[in-house]
Chain A
């Protein structure tokens, strides 16, 4: 990721951000950056500080120390300038009563200062992108959750911002709506080079659309980097201790009794743990690729009746569970 972003200025940059509410350290020395065209996931358990950090980025809250820059502008010093290049989609959809989709978008276009043809073009662009044209006259308080989220995303895009901050956009959506929203977000980054910072609890989904991820817990960033880096444990980690050092899981299936192989395996180097379930063994392995190759060779030479030897890729969920500690404040 660093190589990819060489020469580019970050569009989102958090510098030692702090936000405390009394004794609660909602955001505690948080720093990370995101670049144009990047979709960055912001993961953490409930109460980890995701929404607070996002609200600071969206110029809705003020840090007590540190700063956050959007396209080089400080959210503290120049919130007005930040608002021109930033789109924020909060976790709750603000509905105005007695208003249809067209009027809703028209209002926000006016609020961003668009007039006449420019305003009409902006609305048309958003309606086309979010595929809301057939529902122009529909009252917004009668929209389904999926359609509401589309409209909310459309509203976020009305002034064509360079940076999008989406707080739990997929929460409460059915699978189809989630897939559609995911496609839209992917499109924003790849086709329109927008920087997207997205928080979600649905980690599998984030894994599919994010280029990089920051994991936050109890107000602190525990790890950040590309998903591959985090899975391999090579991402920039702040507080990943020895217990959460990079490990690989290997699944071995064999013919016949697995007990002999289990006894043999626990004596081998880099094998931390072996669990047996019928004819299948799961090895927790802390060696590198060469060591893994050596282990496979040794198993074959020892004449164990192995039919498969598979290295399991860690899912984002596994990585999240490995890195976080379930701390509550």
Chain B
């Protein structure tokens, strides 16, 4: 055997050992892509368009190439090509990838292997990331050409490419989440249309952002990199959330589909708090600024309200599989209870965090001495939103429990839609007097209308004291009533975890062959 043969054998062996460590889905999809015609065609088109841009651009700008800053224009064109592939083609492929598994009856085969749902989703995402990297490497020579032109800003280009990479992963994650969101054909069609629209908007937004280049001029600002860092961290948390939702959707019915999502939502909230704290340390004005306080309060309440609508409408059922994984310690069970599936435990988690938010805002008001009505817009506005969240999530939880008693045909989705419709109806009814009278006046009827209430709080000069106080009392009363009505269910939900039987350890089965190693990530 010659040296060349030995080297080749060693290389093949090394690649094979390396591929053993990779996610099986990634290996499979890479093989399929390299043997299929679709990827090859798209890739060749991508290269061809890049060449056309290079050729036409060079010919049209020939006179100015050495003297004028043409790099920005060339980069804009290449970015349009790259971003279309990374923000539209690849995410759409990710969407199809999971959907096709169901259509071609391969998903069941995949499910009954020892591959965990997490690894299936990671494999699909890794395959998309690999495709994005291929497109990045294909465009690299063209961007290298751009770098020799006048006006090339290496920092700006690097920043754009890095964030675009993250944006592409985010779109792929959302696309995968969309593909598993429904099994019904009519909803899949709606999802498909919605996804395409979303991807095109995502692409055009990113493209206009880069072409306008506003951020390029702000790169020298002191907080630019801090804000970028915070955006990246929070953006990554939403990628993780989208992935976790996808994982939950494909997890076996007796498995725990909720805890992962609850943990990520909680981590997101605390990351958000940490980001605000960090910004406040760097720039004290953020904490002092009432508008900023209101924005922070609104975002945090919105986070828990939207998430809460899904969590509090979950079924209370805890499968034997979930119960068998309870901790033997009662204390640990108590702490973990809000993170376990079930609408009532969802209420505990959401209301608990909303209480923390209110407490934080109250402390902020106290510390900064902004407790007077004129200087407490942010704090009072947040309270109004939180109380509304308590009311409407409480309503959703009650509807959910009632629906389960009435008919098994009423699903969680029905309950959510019903709650939203009820919310919209109440908002509309509260607006009727305004519409009829034609006067933009605040009254107690707006107590359950967070939009009007917050607008009035924001514009503190216009709120009538008596009407404002009365509306706040009504809102407080409604929130207290709904909290009290839900309290027994919340108590029972926690007791179901703390007082459940202690799980017995299950003996490990005797392996019949070399133990499968497929449980860890790639």
Contacts and interface: CB of A to CB of B under 8 A. Distances in A.
B253 interface: yes
Contacts of B104: 94-97
Interface of A is mostly: loop
A58 B319 contact: no
B516 A84 contact: yes
A84 B324 CA distance: 20
A78 interface: yes
A50 interface: no
Contact of B516 (A71, A92, A159): A159
- Interface size band for A: 35 or more
B112 interface: yes
Contacts of A94: 104-109
Interface string B238-266: 00000000000000111100000000000
Interface stretch (A102-110, A222-230, A242-250, A270-278): A102-110
B329 to A, nearest CB: 21
Given A77-B320, A160-B512, A96 B28 contact: yes
Contact of A96 (B24, B32, B515): B32
Interface of B is mostly: loop
A258 B506 CA distance: 70
B111 interface: yes
Interface string B12-44: 000011001000100110011101100000000
A3 B108 CA distance: 37
A114 B35 contact: no
A62 B252 contact: yes
- Interface size band for B: 35 or more
Given A77-B320, A90-B108, A99-B32, A113 B519 contact: yes
B254 A79 contact: yes
Nearest to A73: B509
A324 B514 CA distance: 45
Contact of B518 (A78, A79, A99, A111): A111
Contact of A90 (B16, B28, B109, B515): B109
A95 B519 CA distance: 25
A134 interface: no
A60 B516 contact: no
Nearest to A120: B16
Contacts of B116: 80
A86 B108 CA distance: 13
Interface string A105-130: 00110111111101100000000000
A305 interface: no
B217 interface: no
B31 A76 contact: no
Contacts of A71: 509
B110 interface: yes
A116 B17 contact: yes
8 contacts: A60-B111, A62-B254, A71-B509, A85-B509, A92-B105, A94-B107, A103-B28, A103-B31
Given A58-B108, A113-B518, 4 more contacts: A59-B112, A79-B255, A99-B31, A118-B514
